[in-house]
Amino acid sequence: MKSTLFNMVAVLFCITLVASTGVGGVYQITKEPIEQANAQAVTEALNQVLPAFDAKTEQELMIDEMPIVAYTATNGGDVVGYAVKTMTKKGFGGPITLMVGFDAAGTVLNVNVLAQTETPGLGTKMADEGNPLIASFQGRNPGEMTLAVKKDGGDVDALTAATISSRAYVDAMARAYNAYRQVALQEHDADVISGATQPVKADETTEQTGEEDAREGGNNE
């Protein structure tokens, strides 16, 4: 058969149609398992940061133009705590996502690092049990704290040689407390300022670079 422009277009159309149909079929097959896995991951994270509960409701918020999800957990109809899936875009390696649990009075119960791409051995330590960041928040009400790392005049102990990651963690925690206030206290004008937004002074930059050069051979966080 003599090749023509029409024939070539027809063949390309058929190939595209078959490929798109295949992709659509795979999506339909995997959609439900993916949704179930995501739901299970959220449930596990909530169980790690909250007391025992038998029901939960969720509320989607936009804080600083970022999607935040707040959960109200109840047991026997009584509120036992709140959890907030919070995030920050200020991480050294990219966005960081946390699940933060609060009791009804706003005290931080636990923090679960859901996603981060920080430098191994430095910023990644934010996910370690008992690390300085979580130790600074656990058992305390963020509303009674200065939300900044100690280098910036705040109450939060930073990870060694990972100041940028530590500031980002504080930024996400401030956003979580903001969401808690909106959902639990109905303070819709809540505005919690995080020290993570403070500029780094020149002498701090030199100090941080020196610390992290020694640890990473020049891969500064």
pLDDT exceeds cutoff 80 at 216? no
Q: Which residues contact 71 (CB under 8 A, 6 or more apart)?
A: 46, 56, 57, 58, 59, 82, 83, 84, 85
Structure confidence at residue 189 (pLDDT): 62
Say how far apart CA 22 and CA 155 lie, in whole Å: 54
Give the pLDDT confidence of 62-111 residue by residue, as tens digits.
999 999 999 999 999 999 999 999 999 999 999 999 999 999 999 999 99
The residue type of 81 is G
pLDDT exceeds cutoff 70 at 204? no
- Evaluate whether 63 touches 175 at the Cβ level (below 8 Å): yes
Bigger pLDDT: 2 vs 18: 18
Say how far apart CA 115 and CA 118 lie, in whole Å: 10
**Boundaries of every domain in the chain:** 50-216
Task: Give me the sheet containing 55-63, strands edge to edge.
Answer: 55-63, 66-75, 78-88, 96-102, 108-115
pLDDT exceeds cutoff 80 at 130? yes
Q: Indicate the pTM of the whole model.
A: 0.75
